Chain A
């Protein structure tokens, strides 16, 4: 029926087609009682679980005007923690982007023994407890009795209870995010254009830069934004490996916990507000980017 009007149903047009058809075919029946109940239940659930609690943190932060916010921004230890969090997150995102894109291309475009196992293991960091991540890094890179730690330390390179350890923990937990975004897109675009470029004499680098990279650009951006939010907010793994030294290895998320437990609730809410602001901004940016991604 409606299919006649739409001779070519592209992959990305499916959803729009469906909603258009839904409007054509059953304009009245959709908004039945059941639909209203479902709509109400879902909205109420999301309001109570996410929207209301998150909005309260804004309210708590600004309940006394800008006092709390100014208070934490004047505290050199908090500023240090915020700066450390940002530096660690940026380094982690850069590492994860470079290796994520490389890993995605290897997983999609090449055949090698153990590929299946590798592609399953790439998802592992999403399912492992951050505390276990921290423990595993301490066991290997711990300066006192880790597998590699004493050797690295005698070479003058401290990992655990220092910034490199925090970076490693952060890279670990955010590892799959870029890969999960890029792999489906690489599969989707296929290899025809890359082969054409190859036939026309382009070398591997030119093919990647001129053909592959533009096609996966938005997937990378999406993965980067998600990784940034995740890296900035990592808590459990960082808590284990950082040693939580005030003014040295204490990150912003650790400040939130410490302030709250020391009855400085205003400071905890203000710091949490800053972190929430960044992560919500990331989500909104992604929401704006995504439709562009769907309609090339």
Chain B
């Protein structure tokens, strides 16, 4: 979204007189109010997290972040997020493919199912997964309070991201090129690898970045499902919350800063990827 805003905004600007692209006093006032609101709500609070983490000095920050239990939590979160992102790259692309190219009865139901993890309250998502994969589930598997539960919760909440970024790009893709490749003797796999995949790559990467960011920051669905056992199933968000509850705000802010840094990197990555997407499209 962000990159396309920029590129198209600029090309539109060159077409119109300079007066309209600039700020009038009404839009200037609107910008001022919007920025004030955005600062009070988002920018200043997030700055406060970094400032609180920095207040204790580098040594204290480093000691907090490299605390063994914290490191275990960060490792579990990042590891789980990487694994689930890989799963989403494969399954998300496959789901998008089926939704766009295949036609069968009940397909629109699948389309609705994709959005449910996004809209379902996270704590409800945890409960929902627990009812199938918990102790009294009809499948007879019990993943509650294990690392598999963390992975399962990640997979559930990140499901929509790759699908929803790949789907529109796949739908817009020109079929003529594929038909040309096929008529020149390329197999379906070759066509997919050489023609379709390169066109989808930026969208897949953007979706992967989103799903990685979502998994890293997940909290709600894990509360009931993973048991939050230190060194076992405790993720970073839970670690931060326990610091807050122990009134250790500096500690909480230090770990939160690490998460914020990851979020920021992901946002930058998405921005760059989407710019590439726009240039191609």
Q: Are A108 and B5 in contact (CB under 8 A)?
A: yes
- B97-118 with Cβ < 8 A to chain A: 97-98, 100-104, 108, 110-118
- A1-41 with Cβ < 8 A to chain B: 3, 14-15, 18-19, 21-22, 25, 30, 34-35, 38-39, 41
B204 interface residue, CB < 8 Å from A? no
Given A120-B268, A127-B267, A129-B216: A135 touches B256 (CB 8 Å cut-off): yes
Q: Are B132 and A53 in contact (CB under 8 A)?
A: yes
A88 interface residue, CB < 8 Å from B? no
A279, B220: Cα distance in complex, Å: 16
A171, B175: Cα distance in complex, Å: 42
- B74-124 with Cβ < 8 A to chain A: 91, 94-95, 97-98, 100-104, 108, 110-124
A71 interface residue, CB < 8 Å from B? no
Q: Are B121 and A234 in contact (CB under 8 A)?
A: yes
How many residues on the A side are at the interface (Cβ–Cβ under 8 A)? 107
Number of A-B contacts (CB under 8 A): 308
Given A172-B42, A279-B116, A282-B119: A38 touches B102 (CB 8 Å cut-off): yes
Q: Are A14 and B172 in contact (CB under 8 A)?
A: yes
A90, B252: Cα distance in complex, Å: 31
How many whole Å from B259's CB to the nearest CB in chain A? 5
Which among B21, B26, B52, B97 is the interface contact of A204 at CB below 8 angstroms? B26
Given A22-B101, A119-B6: A129 touches B43 (CB 8 Å cut-off): no
- A residues lining the B interface (CB < 8 Å): 3, 14-15, 18-19, 21-22, 25, 30, 34-35, 38-39, 41-43, 45-46, 48-54, 56-57, 60, 99, 102-103, 105-112, 115-116, 118-141, 146-147, 168, 171-172, 175, 179-180, 183-184, 187, 190-191, 195, 204, 226, 229-230, 232-236, 239-240, 253, 256-257, 260-261, 268-269, 272, 275-276, 279-280, 282-284, 286-287
Q: Knowing that A42-B91, A43-B110, A135-B240 are A-B contacts, what are 9 other residue pairs whose CB atoms are under 8 Å apart, sorted by A's residue number?
A: A3-B176, A34-B188, A46-B113, A123-B1, A129-B256, A130-B220, A136-B256, A138-B249, A236-B237
Q: Sort A-B residue pairs by CB-CB distance and give the 9 closest, nearest first.
A: A233-B121, A129-B217, A136-B45, A229-B119, A127-B213, A127-B263, A279-B119, A235-B220, A139-B48
